[in-house]
């Protein structure tokens, strides 16, 4: 049996972010990843460039494109164009490249990587966690970071995060070539998707297209949406590598910690319930988890409650408003498109939300009041 200060379960963006910062603070870190090698992940790859301030190394090697313009449409017509100001950049990254960059930086500071390591059991004694693999290997850790994504069974079993999971259904397609999408331009399509939207983000040599359903139990027929959307983007309706995923979205203020353990990223149900942004909260939670664990491991904090508190202040309070907006917008999407997306001030607001300069709470009360008055 080997020992470590912190066992990080999952080597994605959230887990690798936590591992880097913990290793930088001088802790022994072991990253446990079930996949044998990096793989293409079902992720659009959109990320506010403002996350760079959280890391002392350059994230640009993971960036495929910088978004300068966002195109919106309603059922492939009625376009709206939003120019993003240079002060509010929005990056498109390849997830596998970003994850590898973060993990390599953590390893360079001394973090140990074990892969493949699929966790079969988590047990806690008075002062340590015992992490057991399916192969019977056991690692003893003073603390654990749950960073194994939306499919993680551990938060629910350990009473961390929401009791009732709110799952979004997504279908992602990676395509070679740009089609009709211009470099530096992101596209959001409303109207074709029931209770959700579709998106297209440019990569260096292709595009990421996605279809997501975010409220309700009825899931849109993503293939039917793609049969209309892909030809509009200049592709055949059958093109591309397709991946289905269930995505945990934010579903209320809940503890993100327990004794000696925290959940980060998708395992913590942090995904934006309106625009499905997941990378920024994943990286944010990894940074905040590392800071709280450092204080707890060093004995300056009695527990890890400050992590939950900080994530509520920095993310959860805004997501509470984002969920309200999503519930109204996706139930009355045509009204939402006309009164929200097409308003003259929308481009600036969109840029500020995508860049992280503005939270949903800043605009939510005005938006909801406007939508409800229109329906009345």
DSSP 271: B
pLDDT value at 376 more than 60 = no
Q: What is the pLDDT of residue 365?
A: 66
pLDDT value at 338 more than 60 = yes
pLDDT value at 217 more than 80 = no
Encoded tokens for 356: 């992280």
Q: Rounded to whole angstroms, how far apart are CA atoms 125 and 1?
A: 15
- Measured N-to-C along each axis, helices 13-24 and 95-108 cross at an angle, to the nearest 10 degrees, of 20
Between 36-45, 180-189, 231-240, 268-277, the lowest mean confidence (pLDDT) is in 36-45
How high does pLDDT run on average in the chain? 90
Q: Please, which residues bridge with residue 210 across strands?
A: 172, 199
Q: How many CB atoms lie within 10 A of CB 340?
A: 21
Encoded tokens for 227: 């049969």
Say if strands 129-133 and 138-146 run parallel, antiparallel, or are unpaired: antiparallel
Q: What is the pLDDT of residue 218?
A: 57
Q: How many CB atoms lie within 10 A of CB 100?
A: 16
47-59 mean pLDDT: 94
Residue range 293-307, pLDDT digits in tens: 999 999 999 999 999
Residue 375's pLDDT band, with cuts at 50, 70 and 90, is: low
Q: Is 241 helix (H, G, I), strand (E, B) or coil?
A: strand
Longest alpha-carbon distance in the chain: 65
Between 103-117, 166-180, 217-231, 326-340, the lowest mean confidence (pLDDT) is in 217-231
Encoded tokens for 47: 């990320």
Q: What is the pLDDT of residue 216?
A: 64
pLDDT value at 153 more than 70 = yes
Q: What is the pLDDT of residue 87?
A: 63
Report the alpha-carbon angle 234-278-45, nearest 5. 35
pLDDT value at 243 more than 60 = yes
Between 81-85, 119-123, 290-294, the lowest mean confidence (pLDDT) is in 81-85
Q: Locate tokens 């508190």: which residue?
A: 309
Q: What is the pLDDT of residue 325?
A: 86
169-193 mean pLDDT: 93
Q: What is the pLDDT of residue 264?
A: 98
Number of H helices, E strands in the chain: 10, 18
Share of the chain above pLDDT 70, in %: 92
Q: Give the closest residue to 208 by CA, choosing from 280, 281, 283, 276.
A: 276
Q: What is the pLDDT of residue 275?
A: 86
- Measured N-to-C along each axis, helices 13-24 and 279-297 cross at an angle, to the nearest 10 degrees, of 30
175-202 mean pLDDT: 94
Residue range 79-98, pLDDT digits in tens: 988 887 666 678 999 899 99
Q: Rounded to whole angstroms, how far apart are CA atoms 119 and 99?
A: 20
Encoded tokens for 289: 């988890």
DSSP 177: S
> Cβ distance 184 to 149 under 8 Å?
no
Residue 361's pLDDT band, with cuts at 50, 70 and 90, is: confident
Q: Domains (ranges, CATH) in the chain?
A: 2-41+95-163+254-323 (3.50.50.60)
Residue 341's pLDDT band, with cuts at 50, 70 and 90, is: confident
> 157 burial class (0-12, 13-18, 19+ CB within 10 angstroms)?
exposed
């Amino acid at each position: 049996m080997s020992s470590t200060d912190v066992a990080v379960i999952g080597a994605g963006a959230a887990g690798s972010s936590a591992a880097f910062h913990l290793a930088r603070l001088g802790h022994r870190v072991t990253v446990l990843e079930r996949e044998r090698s990096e793989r293409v992940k079902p992720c659009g790859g959109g990320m506010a460039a403002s996350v760079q301030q959280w890391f002392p190394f350059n994230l640009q090697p993971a960036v495929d494109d910088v978004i300068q313009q966002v195109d919106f449409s309603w059922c492939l017509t009625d376009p709206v164009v939003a120019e993003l100001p240079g002060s509010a950049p929005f990056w498109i990254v390849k997830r596998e490249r970003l994850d590898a960059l973060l993990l390599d930086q953590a390893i360079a500071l001394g973090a140990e990587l074990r892969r493949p390591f699929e966790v079969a059991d988590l047990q806690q004694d008075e002062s340590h966690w015992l992490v057991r693999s399916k192969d019977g290997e056991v690692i003893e850790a003073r603390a654990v970071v749950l960073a194994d994504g939306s499919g993680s069974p551990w938060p629910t079993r350990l009473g961390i995060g929401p009791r009732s999971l709110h799952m979004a259904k997504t279908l992602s397609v990676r395509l070679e070539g740009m089609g009709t999408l211009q470099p530096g331009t992101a596209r959001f399509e409303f109207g074709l998707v029931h209770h959700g939207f579709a998106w297209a983000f440019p990569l260096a040599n292709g595009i990421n297209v996605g279809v997501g359903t975010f409220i309700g139990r009825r899931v849109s027929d993503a293939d039917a949406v793609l049969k209309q959307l892909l030809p509009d983007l200049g592709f055949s309706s059958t093109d591309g590598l397709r991946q289905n995923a269930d995505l945990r979205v934010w579903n209320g203020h809940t503890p993100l910690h327990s004794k000696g353990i925290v959940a980060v990223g998708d395992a913590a149900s942090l995904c934006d319930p309106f625009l499905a942004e997941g990378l920024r909260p994943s990286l944010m939670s990894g940074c905040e988890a590392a800071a709280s664990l450092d204080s707890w491991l060093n004995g300056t904090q009695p527990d890890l409650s400050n992590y939950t508190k900080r994530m509520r202040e920095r993310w959860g309070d805004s997501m509470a408003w984002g969920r309200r907006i999503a519930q109204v917008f996706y139930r009355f999407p045509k009204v939402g498109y006309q009164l929200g997306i097409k308003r003259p001030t929308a481009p600036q607001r969109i840029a500020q939300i995508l860049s992280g300069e503005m939270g949903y709470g800043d605009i939510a009360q005005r938006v909801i009041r406007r939508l409800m008055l229109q329906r009345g």
